[in-house]
Amino acid sequence: MQSSARKSTVGKTAVQLPELRIRVDDDLLEAFDHLCGVAGDLMGAVPPQLIAKHVLDITADGDWPVRQAAMMAIVARFRYAHRDQLRVSQRPKTATGLGLYQTRRFRSNARPYDTQLWSVLPLRASLDFHGGKSS
């Protein structure tokens, strides 16, 4: 399955996303379509196809309930980020967008998360939480 290029917005900054070339095995197309539907517009500027493909990749040995639980966990993380008003406070200065991101809560100088993004397809990243609530 392929998706065409799309233009998204993050805050007030327009971000041009590259054309997505996502391959899904024929026997997983129904699951992929359903997961894309669940992700829908809940992920902000992140294309639901990326999230659905990531869920299929990390649950390759799992059945449908495992895949569904993984998607719901990701949706919950996005909701928490929205609820906590997390903002990107520092991003990599690379054309690819790969590198270190730092986030903070709205109207806070504290940086609760560092996220290192190594690749998008397949998704490879790590997250360090610095703890504590701040205002």
Shared domain check, 129 and 75: no
Return the residue matching tokens 């906590």.
84
Which residues span the domain enclosing 15?
Answer: 1-83
Shared domain check, 90 and 78: no
Shared domain check, 126 and 61: no
User: For 15-42, what is each residue's pLDDT tens digit?
Assistant: 445 566 788 888 899 999 999 999 887 7
Shared domain check, 78 and 91: no
In 5-125, alpha helices (H): 29-39, 48-58, 64-83
pTM, whole model, 2 decimals? 0.70
8 A C-beta contact, residue 8 and residue 48: no
Shared domain check, 101 and 76: no
Shared domain check, 75 and 16: yes
Shared domain check, 130 and 103: yes
Shared domain check, 102 and 71: no
Check residue 19 and report its DSSP letter: P
Distance CA(61)–CA(104), nearest Å, equals: 35
Distance CA(70)–CA(49), nearest Å, equals: 15
Report the percent of the chain where pLDDT is more than 90: 37
